[in-house]
Amino acid sequence: MEGESAERNIFVREPPELYALAAKWIRGAINNGINRGHCAIALSGGSTPGPVYELLAKPPLSEQVDWSKVDLYFADERCVAPGHAQSNYAMIRRTLLSQVPIPAEQVHRIEAERSDVMEAVSAYGRILPAELDVLVLGVGADGHTASIFPGSEAEREMRRRVVWVEKSPKPPPCRVTITPPVIGTARQIVVIATGAEKAQVVARTLDGPETPLEFPIQLAKRGAWFLDSAAAALLKKG
């Protein structure tokens, strides 16, 4: 598949153009939130979105957002210290938060490093807004998104909005994640995926039958999808 399918909100480009397009889309989604008064955005970690956050953190895009009207949340966090190489907060701080004038009290970290991780789950559940304006998600080749893995309790969670993941198949095993209801109520969702190893899950999610218990990323099917041609390679045309 090439180019873009506006109807399905699928955008296919090669990096770095892909990253620039996704960053602009996120800027627009943040400003839609601000136009309603304030923007609550939650970001994912992983390795894919870093270059997109870096573009959002630099002019011109960084100057097109009133960061004093943004509250920033996290889709999931690994149970490591906030400075750890595997911390999603550390990656997002390095690529975005340290570069833009967002007030520190408007950055709402998941404190997954706490010795009692359930305390971190409850604390985050209390601060996460009922409805996110923008949610940025990644996808794993197994169909997970945030830290909602196929076959896990998190994917069956319909009431609690934040849960502990004890045995994540993707290391590290201990994580805290948002749940399906949070994805379900987000106003705007963006999914960014690159690489041939994501091609099957992307095609299965967007073209296949609805089986979110097998592929939790299907919860984000209605989002805007930013793909490189390798990740989009198995999609049906149109």
Which chain residues interact with ligand 6PG by CB under 6 A?
44-48, 75-76, 88, 138-140, 144-146, 170
Q: Which distant-in-sequence residues (6+ apart) come within 8 Å of 41 by Cβ? A: 26, 29, 30, 33, 70, 71, 72, 73, 132, 133, 134, 135, 136
For residues 31 and 112, which CB has a smaller minimum distance to ligand 6PG in the complex? 112
For residues 25 and 53, which CB has a smaller minimum distance to ligand 6PG in the complex? 53
Provide, rounded to whole angstroms, the least separation between the CB of residue 147 and ligand 6PG: 6
Provide, rounded to whole angstroms, the least separation between the CB of residue 153 and ligand 6PG: 16
Provide, rounded to whole angstroms, the least separation between the CB of residue 230 and ligand 6PG: 13
For residues 88 and 188, which CB has a smaller minimum distance to ligand 6PG in the complex? 88
Q: How far apart (Å, rounded) are the C-alpha atoms in residues 228 and 161?
A: 31
Three-state secondary-structure class, residue 86: coil
For residues 38 and 125, which CB has a smaller minimum distance to ligand 6PG in the complex? 125
Question: What does DSSP assign to residue 236?
Answer: P
For residues 31 and 137, which CB has a smaller minimum distance to ligand 6PG in the complex? 137
Provide, rounded to whole angstroms, the least separation between the CB of residue 192 and ligand 6PG: 8
Backbone angles phi, psi at 118, to 5 degrees: -65, -25
Provide, rounded to whole angstroms, the least separation between the CB of residue 68 and ligand 6PG: 27
**Buried b vs exposed e over 14-24: b needs ≥16 C-beta within 10 Å?**
eeeebbebbbb
